[in-house]
Amino acid sequence: MPTRYILDVCDTSGAHKPIASFESDAPFHAVAVGERFDDIGWNRVDGVGLVASPERPRRYTVHSIKHLVYPTTQGLVVKYCLNLSPFDGPSSPVWGDQGSP
């Protein structure tokens, strides 16, 4: 029975709606509440398309995390839901930020 991993990302501001979803055959890296999570070009699930880029990222911090594990007829689904809060601060210089907005 194959396992499918899904990472759903929700924005906690406004309507608290899903903004992006990713699927993988391997587990996603673990994250913790309070960690930074930047959008550098996610395709939005609401059909809006890309709203950020490496040059103009949307920055978030992890607000909360939810895990769901359930069987389907095709195999096991492991769903990792990250609730993100907008972050207005700069990126770390470690990640290449040289004072950009």
Residue 70 within a domain: yes
What's residue 17's pLDDT? 80
Instruction: Give me the pLDDT at residue 55, please.
Output: 85
- Alpha-carbon span 33 to 84, nearest angstrom: 9
pTM of the entire predicted model: 0.81
Output the tens digit of pLDDT for each of the chain's 101 residues.
Answer: 799 999 999 988 877 788 899 999 999 999 999 998 889 899 888 888 898 998 888 899 999 999 999 999 999 999 999 999 999 877 666 766 544 44
CA nearest to 11, candidates 67, 64, 86? 86
**Per the domain annotation, does 84 fall within a domain?**
yes
In a domain, residue 99? The reply is no
What confidence score (pLDDT) does residue 101 get?
44
Domain extent at residue 55: 3-93
Task: Flag whether 100 is in a domain.
Answer: no
pLDDT of residue 99: 46
Q: Establish if 101 belongs to a structural domain.
A: no
Specify the number of domains making up the chain.
1
- Residue in this structure with the two tokens 């913790």, named with its chain if needed: 32
Question: DSSP assignment of 52-75, as one string?
Answer: --SSS-EEEEEEEEEEEEEEETTE
Look at residue 65 and tell me if it is in a domain.
yes
